[in-house]
Structure 1
């Protein structure tokens, strides 16, 4: 259940930032910049902070190589879905949602990896930050 919660939060974060509909931060910010600059900056900074938290956790969890590997697996899956005809490159909106889904899976895997690794290996990870 923990993975699904992390995936859902990551998906919502990415979808709030940008999606093919009119309801997203990027479109709102571009149309509201002149009238509501302070709100655009505030919400942009809040999104930036959340992204920094997510990306820090992901890079600590699976590292850059892990991100590349998870993206490669997802890209191969998308390729298979395109090849068998379940997805089409004719609709850019669908491909945008697929990209959001793929990136949210990467974020969720990165956030959940430490928990999963401890369950699989039975090991406890200890940070050596106390010596610093």
Structure 2
């Protein structure tokens, strides 16, 4: 099965795009998954696409910019699976407005999700990942994370 076979992997932003495809590929590799996304129906759809055995996929609606929600989610995942071997901090948003015409709130939202979401995910899952024999924290970004006008 390879590296991910039987391992517990948490993926944020699993409702679409890179997160969804990552979840599907991890399921094919035999991983047990904790999937999260702000969009509850989307993350449940991803869980269905994974086609994993009952009990091997946990899907939850989580806002990664909410520190308490992320900490609670990590604890739920740890309780449900007994461990976490890897976390993929994949959730992210894009804002592509002009700097001059943009509101400060636009930038604050991007920072809340794209920066603090990674910090909260790493900090919340790290105690579990550190107990793994070969734990990993992976922070992803797409090219859109670099786009500014």
- Using the size of structure 1 for normalisation, the TM-score is 0.30
Greater share of residues in helix: 1
Greater share of residues in strand: 2
Larger Rg: 1
